[in-house]
Amino acid sequence: MNPVTTTSMFQRHWNPYLVLILAGILSAGYFGLTSTVWAVTGEFTRLGGEILELFGVDVSGWQYYQMVKLDGDTLTRADGWIVWGMFTGALLMVLLSNSFKIRLPQQKRRYLQGFFGGIVAGFGARLALGCNLAAFFTGVPQFSFHSWIFIIATGIGTYFGAKLSQTRWWKGRPTLTRGTVKPSKINNRVIQPYLGVALALTYASLLLYFFTTGKSLLGLGALFGLCFGILIERGQICFTAAFRDLFLVGRSLMSKAIILGMAASSILTLAMITLYDLTPITQVAALSTLVGGVLFGFGIVLASGCETGMMYRLMEGQVLFLPVFAGNVIGATFLAYAWDHLGIYNVLVASGKKINLINSIGPVGAIISTLTMLAVLYGLTLYREKNYHRHILLKRAAK
């Protein structure tokens, strides 16, 4: 294997439109095969519960863990392998592209900010019963009305998070560094493509083991997780960037790609539901969805990344996202505790209701209303982009 040839094959990232449409198709296929959806923060919550149990904390009586089913461990759950498969897929692409490099934030305050943002985002995601995946990208195609509320709430939270992130108080003093730009030498990290191939072979053996020993559900989780991880890294898919960049710099590419991916997934998911008589996954639409969505949107901007962005950036060697990941797990776990111990369920969730558009207005009405909503979002995205650039041109003309 020639490392130069291998690296050059993986140097270019993929078009976000292609990546997110593929992700939408795969998520619909995963639902058709397993009757569950692509999600990550639910598993973060379970992981937090397992860590507490290691320290002797009995979480068996916590209502939230009864709801999300804390059975087995993260390596014996399909949802667990979705998460570890995503990490593996992202790392695989990073190694094959020879692009792993330890990167430290310029300001140490970013560690604390990322940790805090991760806690807020993790807490908000589980309060809303889903993050940018289960309550957004894969929630909308399930025709769960709570996802519509979550989209609006996340947009609000992201807007205020973007505003805060631009303040001098948050950014701190600018730092200047002196250095020289050196031409990159591929031989400096020649080992990475070999490690990538070794990782691919090892993971392929794991998949073979799952499918040949009757553990097909784990195999599907590991396989689809791997594919999702490859896609988020190759497309540099970050829902935080999609919202934040639209507000701050009028960049809409990622937002438009996400919307088209959800549209494709919605059509295919409805086909799966109709053809195979599957039950769509519906979450409670309540005040908790609104509050959780705002907290999630606010937190992901402060953390500089949502769950998908955090995962592939961590695999690239960006050390900042270690505290972000830890914060996500801590925030999600604290929500599990607060659900019944601090009365959050009674105050914010109990009055809510599960509303699925298929049951409420029928399959045709559900797909038409969903695609219409996505078309409106697409139109608002274009409007924001054009309005931002028009504003910039006017400011330049006034000088």
pLDDT at 125 over 80: yes
Query: What is residue 8's predicted lDDT score, i.e. its pLDDT?
Result: 59
- The residues spanned by each domain of the chain are 3-169+190-398
* Of the candidate ranges 50-54, 325-329, 387-391, the one whose mean pLDDT is the lowest: 387-391
387 band by pLDDT with thresholds 50, 70 and 90: confident
Query: What is residue 47's predicted lDDT score, i.e. its pLDDT?
Result: 96
Handedness of CA 326, 216, 22, 148 (dihedral sign): negative
186 band by pLDDT with thresholds 50, 70 and 90: very low
5 band by pLDDT with thresholds 50, 70 and 90: low
What is the C-alpha separation between 21 and 262, in angstroms, rounded? 8
State how far Cα 101 lies from the chain centre.
22
The tokens of 119 are what? 């806690």
- With a pLDDT cut of 90, the percent of the chain lying above it is 79
The pLDDT mean for the chain works out to: 91
The pTM for the full model equals 0.92
pLDDT at 179 over 70: no
Terminal Cα-to-Cα distance of the chain (whole angstroms): 57
The tokens of 215 are what? 């553990």
> Mean of the pLDDT values across residues 375-383?
94
What is the C-alpha separation between 72 and 384, in angstroms, rounded? 46
181 band by pLDDT with thresholds 50, 70 and 90: very low
Compute the radius of gyration of the chain from its Cα atoms. 21
CB-based contact 24:141 (threshold 8 Å)? yes
Query: What is residue 184's predicted lDDT score, i.e. its pLDDT?
Result: 46
10 band by pLDDT with thresholds 50, 70 and 90: confident
pLDDT at 131 over 70: yes
Query: What is residue 370's predicted lDDT score, i.e. its pLDDT?
Result: 98
Q: Phi and psi for 144 in degrees, rounded to 5?
A: -85, 120
Amino acid letter, 172 = G
State how far Cα 78 lies from the chain centre.
17
Continuous H helices in 70-145: 78-96, 109-127
189 band by pLDDT with thresholds 50, 70 and 90: low
What is the C-alpha separation between 268 and 266, in angstroms, rounded? 6
Which residues make beta-bridge pairs with 285?
353
What is the C-alpha separation between 90 and 324, in angstroms, rounded? 17
- With a pLDDT cut of 70, the percent of the chain lying above it is 93
Query: What is residue 178's predicted lDDT score, i.e. its pLDDT?
Result: 47
> Mean of the pLDDT values across residues 172-191?
55
Q: Phi and psi for 286 in degrees, rounded to 5?
A: -150, 180
For 186-229, give the DSSP string. GGGGTHHHHHHHHHHHHHHHHHHHHHHTT-HHHHHHHHHHHHHH
Query: What is residue 174's predicted lDDT score, i.e. its pLDDT?
Result: 59
What is the C-alpha separation between 284 and 134, in angstroms, rounded? 12
* Of the candidate ranges 5-9, 29-33, 56-60, 296-300, the one whose mean pLDDT is the lowest: 5-9
pLDDT at 187 over 60: no
What is the C-alpha separation between 246 and 393, in angstroms, rounded? 17
Cα 172 to Cα 179, 297, 321: the distances in Å are 22, 22, 19
Residue with tokens 């599990």: 336
pLDDT at 177 over 50: no
Cα 4 to Cα 192, 205, 231, 237, 382: the distances in Å are 11, 26, 22, 26, 40
Query: What is residue 12's predicted lDDT score, i.e. its pLDDT?
Result: 83
Residue 144 has a CB neighbour count (10 Å cut-off) of 29
pLDDT at 294 over 50: yes
Which residues make beta-bridge pairs with 144?
356
Query: What is residue 118's predicted lDDT score, i.e. its pLDDT?
Result: 97
In sequence order, the 6+-apart residues with CB closer than 8 A to the CB of 169 are none
* Of the candidate ranges 8-17, 47-56, 229-238, 304-313, the one whose mean pLDDT is the lowest: 8-17
Query: What is residue 180's predicted lDDT score, i.e. its pLDDT?
Result: 44
